[in-house]
Amino acid sequence: MTPIAATMLYDADCGLCTAAAAWLMRRARAGELEAKPLQTATLPGAPDLTQTLHLVTGAGHVLTGARAVLAAARTVPRWGAAARLADNRAGHALLEPGYRWIARHRRGIGSALGIKQVCSVPETSAVPEARP
């Protein structure tokens, strides 16, 4: 079995993030991309994974933000060429501010698009006990 080329970590509590991950997974070439909720992941040196998309390459490199989006887009046949063209210093400088704006407003954008928001509920064992 061929190892997955990259793992995309998305916010499963965000409807827009979940919809985008599902869209990518339907279009990515087989075996090149997998998607996992970031709530199930730990990345050393990344204290708050919910602020940006993360993509972990097969070599273990962690890409974030626009770079992660471009790397994921490379796995989609019709988007790969455009992603390769934009995956450079100038492309990152142009795309990162737009990515950050979307990331900050993702819940409102999802609502405007009619995408159902998802909320996780803490497990009972994760809730601290009340003290008298």
- Integer CA distances (angstroms), 129 to 64, 120, 124, 132, in order: 36, 19, 10, 10
Query: Mean pLDDT score of the chain, rounded to an integer?
Result: 82
- pLDDT of 30 strictly over 50: yes
Percent of the chain with pLDDT over 70: 83
| Residue indicated by tokens 């985008």 | 20
pTM as predicted: 0.78
Helices (H), the chain: 15-27, 65-73, 80-86, 89-104, 106-112
- pLDDT of 37 strictly over 70: yes
- pLDDT of 106 strictly over 80: yes
State residue 96's pLDDT score.
96
DSSP annotation of 130 reads: P
Q: For residues 61 and 45, is the Cβ–Cβ distance under 8 A?
A: no
Give the strand pairing for 33-37 and 6-10.
parallel
| Residue indicated by tokens 């090149």 | 32
pLDDT digits (tens, 9 = 90+) for 81-103: 999 999 999 999 999 999 999 99
pLDDT band with cut points at 50, 70 and 90 for residue 48: confident
Strand partners, 33: 6
- pLDDT of 2 strictly over 60: no
State residue 59's pLDDT score.
87
Domain boundaries, the chain: 6-119
Cα dihedral sign, 40-19-101-104: negative
pLDDT band with cut points at 50, 70 and 90 for residue 118: low
